[in-house]
Structure formats: structure tokens, C-alpha cells
């Protein structure tokens, strides 16, 4: 393809993946956001939770000054605290919903419209229909909460049996949950991650075509899963061209 990339997409960067020291909402958030926002290659930055309200105020001002669009990724809040939007434990499910509502509030404070998240853990096949029902319940509640602020909920598709082992999941499950949620709420979409496609054993066509009408955001990354002993094995985002 000879067309410049900026003519096709608006390249962005996932702040908390580029700088994992910030993934728990602490650490060098200001310095690293400033570094990204000074790079005119990026038109979008994806940030996550910022525990310190004073730091949030400064990041909001930096975003406005840079004129860069921001997205909010709540995935770290779910993963680092091991909470699950489709948990069979109702207390745990409600805790996960409350955590994402806090994410929506924080994103609203930062003037961010799109809030990304992921499903909870996969379960044995016999329990998947009930898990899908619980996930739908959580997502509809979150979409309704976000709609009052003019925000969107975006579900990222993860691997099912290698690393994150999430319910969503293969393209058919992503399509099913999108259709089910959008019967009640239109402010919902899917996020497809290039690095998760091979982890799911799908081809690009298998992963993208069934859900194309629901895609709101795309991550571009790499994955390695040939040798479990390799440090890059799983959902670790090794560089492109990594051996194997």
C-alpha cells in the first residue's frame, strides 16, 4: 500500500501499554503523557485510571492544549484487581460494574467519550450461556449509565485459552454479545486487537468480517505463542518481526 497511513487511520498509542509503570493508576503518568503528546505522529492517546485527582486535572489540561483525542481503557482496572463482569458471584459482578461506572465518571471528567473494557473469564462450555446472560446484564447497565453522559462502552475482544482467557472471545461470541446489547443500547461497540486474532486461532477475515458493523476501535499489535518458555509468549505485545 502506497497510501500514507495517516490518510487511512488516525494513529494512536495505548499509554498504559507503552509505559506499564502507570498501569495501576500511579507512577510517572504526567511525564509519560507529556512525552506522547509532544509527538505529532499520534492523533489519539488511550489512557487508563489516574488515582490522583490533581494529576487528572493536569492531564486534562495537557490533552486540551495538545488537541489530541483521548480514549479511556478500563481494562487495567479489571485485570489488575481480578474482577469480572460476567462473574457467577453476584457480589463480584456488581463490584466490577461499579468499577466501570467509576471509570465512566473519570473519563467524563477528562472529557473522554469512549470507555474500553473486556469481558470476564471464560467458563466451561455448559456454563457459557449463563455467563453471556450475566455479561449482557452488566454491559446494558453500563451503557445506560454512560449514555447519560454522552459516552460509549467499547468491549475489547481477547483470547479465550492462552493468556487472558476471556469469555469474549471468538468472533461469533463478540457478534452475539454486540447484537444482544445493541437491542437495548446503541452506545456500544467492539474493539478488535490484531495481536489477539492469532491467539484465538482466527484469520483476519474470520475475526473482522462478522463483526465489521460493530467495530468502534482497533488495536494494532503483535503476539507470540509458539514456545511457552519464551518471555514473549502470550499476550505480551512483542515487537513486529519478533523471531518465531
pLDDT in tens, 120-155: 999 999 999 999 999 999 999 999 999 999 999 999
Residue 21: HSE in the Cβ half-sphere, 13 Å Cα cutoff: 7
Condensed to tens digits (0 to 9), the pLDDT of residues 216-241 reads 999 999 999 889 998 888 898 889 88
User: Structure pTM?
Assistant: 0.95
- Which positions ≥6 away from 84 have C-beta within 8 Å? 78, 92, 93, 96, 120, 121
Percent of the chain with pLDDT over 90: 88
Measured between alpha carbons, how far is 206 from 21 in angstroms, rounded to an integer? 34
- Which residues are within 8 A (CB) of 183 and not within 5 positions of it... i.e. 6 or more apart? none
Residue 161's pLDDT band, with cuts at 50, 70 and 90, is very high
Q: Please report, for residues 89, 136, 207, the alpha-carbon distance to residue 78 in angstroms, rounded to integers and kept in the order given.
A: 15, 17, 24
Measure the CA–CA gap between 208 and 219, rounded to whole angstroms. 12
For residue 201 the three cell numbers come to 486461532
3 state SS of 61: helix
Amino acid at each position: 500500500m502506497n497510501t500514507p497511513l495517516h490518510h487511512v487511520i488516525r494513529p494512536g498509542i495505548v499509554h498504559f501499554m507503552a509505559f506499564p509503570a502507570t498501569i495501576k493508576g500511579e507512577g510517572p503518568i504526567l511525564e509519560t503523557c507529556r512525552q506522547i503528546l509532544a509527538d505529532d505522529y499520534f492523533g489519539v492517546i488511550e489512557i487508563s485510571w489516574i488515582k490522583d485527582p490533581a494529576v487528572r486535572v493536569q492531564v486534562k489540561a495537557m490533552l486540551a492544549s495538545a488537541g489530541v483525542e483521548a480514549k479511556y481503557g478500563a481494562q487495567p482496572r479489571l485485570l489488575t484487581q481480578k474482577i469480572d463482569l460476567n462473574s457467577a458471584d453476584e457480589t463480584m459482578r456488581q463490584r466490577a460494574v461499579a468499577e466501570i461506572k467509576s471509570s465512566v465518571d473519570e473519563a467524563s471528567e477528562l472529557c473522554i467519550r469512549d470507555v474500553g473494557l473486556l469481558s470476564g473469564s471464560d467458563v466451561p462450555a455448559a456454563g457459557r450461556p449463563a455467563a453471556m446472560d450475566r455479561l449482557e446484564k452488566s454491559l446494558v447497565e453500563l451503557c445506560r449509565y454512560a449514555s447519560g453522559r454522552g459516552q460509549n462502552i467499547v468491549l475489547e475482544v481477547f483470547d479465550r485459552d492462552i493468556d487472558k482467557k476471556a469469555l469474549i472471545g471468538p468472533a461469533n461470541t463478540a457478534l452475539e454479545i454486540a447484537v444482544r446489547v445493541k437491542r437495548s443500547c446503541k452506545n456500544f461497540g467492539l474493539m478488535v486487537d490484531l495481536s489477539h486474532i492469532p491467539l484465538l486461532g482466527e484469520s483476519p477475515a474470520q475475526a473482522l468480517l462478522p463483526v465489521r458493523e460493530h467495530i468502534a476501535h482497533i488495536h494494532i499489535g503483535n503476539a507470540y505463542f509458539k514456545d511457552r518458555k519464551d518471555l514473549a509468549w502470550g499476550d505480551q505485545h512483542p515487537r513486529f518481526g519478533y523471531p518465531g
